[in-house]
Homo-oligomer: A and B are copies of this chain.
């Protein structure tokens, strides 16, 4: 499927972002966090556009041709390809955080199980872990990091509304879980988004372990 670019987007910029997304997807697939063609990944191109994974592709074998352009309303631009069903959640993040350059959504077993376990409380509270310092803005293990768990739905506008409601209430947000589903996190660049994802996977795993130990 060919991707036509608007004149305002340098082909080299799109190619570089597509490459970075495919590299991250392959590494995260190798870690087992994208089972059965799930998960999706994107990077900002400019104020109006983002590059995002095409729906349903095997994330372990992703190449540049599996990435497409969308506008910030989540519509395909210059291609007949279909973007991931959850594109609206990515573009919402780019609209709400002008500094966000990369969004990662994965589905590890730890993320899925944690989302089910903490769904009753609506959030998971992380506190006392040195690794919280891996999240931008956190400089001590004594800070508190709250990750909301939103109910799952196949209707994306509902999820967009829940994220908006959280943010409009003035609460800090570094990532969120969707019940029975997975995690969304982001960063100022792909390295920061990856660091956030890796730290949250680790911390959710630790919290599950402590509960298995009745600690």
Contacts and interface: CB of A to CB of B under 8 A. Distances in A.
A43 B159 CA distance: 41
Given A129-B112, A179-B128, A211 B211 contact: no
Interface string A138-169: 01111000000000101000000000000000
Interface residues of A, number: 42
B37 A134 contact: yes
Interface stretch (A8-16, A72-80, A92-100, A200-208): A200-208
A173 interface: no
A17 interface: no
A200 to B, nearest CB: 9
Interface of A: 35-38, 58, 107, 109, 112-113, 116-117, 128-131, 134, 139-142, 152, 154, 178-182, 191, 195, 198-199, 201-202, 205-206, 208-213, 215
A215 B213 CA distance: 12
Contact of A107 (B130, B141, B178, B212): B130
B215 A117 contact: yes
Contacts of A152: 128, 130, 141
B210 A131 contact: no
A116 B206 contact: yes
